[in-house]
A = this chain, B = another copy of it.
């Protein structure tokens, strides 16, 4: 079977999702369940440590999905480490999606702080999943300090633009010894399928599902697209050709 392994966990679904931007907790739960995603990011802000009745968390806790806290909102390595520790307490998990984006407009990740935080968090025993620019050299450096995967972006978060970093994702996938998960920018099932066809190990999709007019149906659509892209990758795509080739043999009956 086609299993994805990250640290001590295995996944049969290669579609990771998020919990932001949904119209309601119920819509979120429905969409995530329909997507069959097994790993779901959650912003620390949403985790109300004190409040047992926190709506969103309760919805997710009744399912079998793994919660992956993220550090969204921090601007430095130091803040990220602090946030990761808080998240570990609150959610009882040493997995952390590392996001450090000082810029409030485009939310693009900071390569310097991310590497620094990753190194510190690995030493503290975290399973670190860093969200980064599609920078092949940075990916190798993160791998060298012990992250369990790399999460390069396809396009700015929430832009829905798709795979705008193709030339660099190809290099990252070629060179990486840890799973490559394309994160951010995926706005349509075709984008997700494309990332998987390139050889990505998984994708993370949030906005495109959450703000669709029908999040549940969109969750299913992404599930199918990710499966399609993965199957195509394994079955090998036909090569691109400049000259056409008839798929129907040219009939010569008229000359008979």
List the interface of chain A (C-beta within 8 A of B).
Answer: 18-21, 41-46, 70-74, 79, 82-83, 86, 99, 101-112, 115, 133, 135-138, 140-141, 155-161, 164-168, 171, 175, 187-191, 193-194, 197, 206-208, 210-215, 217-218, 220-225, 227-229, 231-232, 234-254
Q: In the bound complex, what is the Cα–Cα distance between A99 and B168 (angstroms)?
A: 18
Q: In the bound complex, what is the Cα–Cα distance between A137 and B188 (angstroms)?
A: 26
Pick from B82, B218, B245: contact of A235, CB under 8 Å: B218
| Closest CB pairs A-B (n = 8) | A158-B245, A73-B251, A72-B248, A43-B248, A45-B251, A20-B247, A214-B235, A206-B247
Copies in the complex: 4
Pick from B74, B112, B244: contact of A106, CB under 8 Å: B244
Q: A164-B166, A214-B236 are in contact. Are A99 and B187 (CB under 8 A)?
A: no
Q: A112-B138, A251-B83 are in contact. Are A190 and B187 (CB under 8 A)?
A: no
Pick from B141, B165, B242, B253: contact of A159, CB under 8 Å: B242
Closest-CB distance, A231 to chain B (whole angstroms):
4
Q: In the bound complex, what is the Cα–Cα distance between A82 and B197 (angstroms)?
A: 42
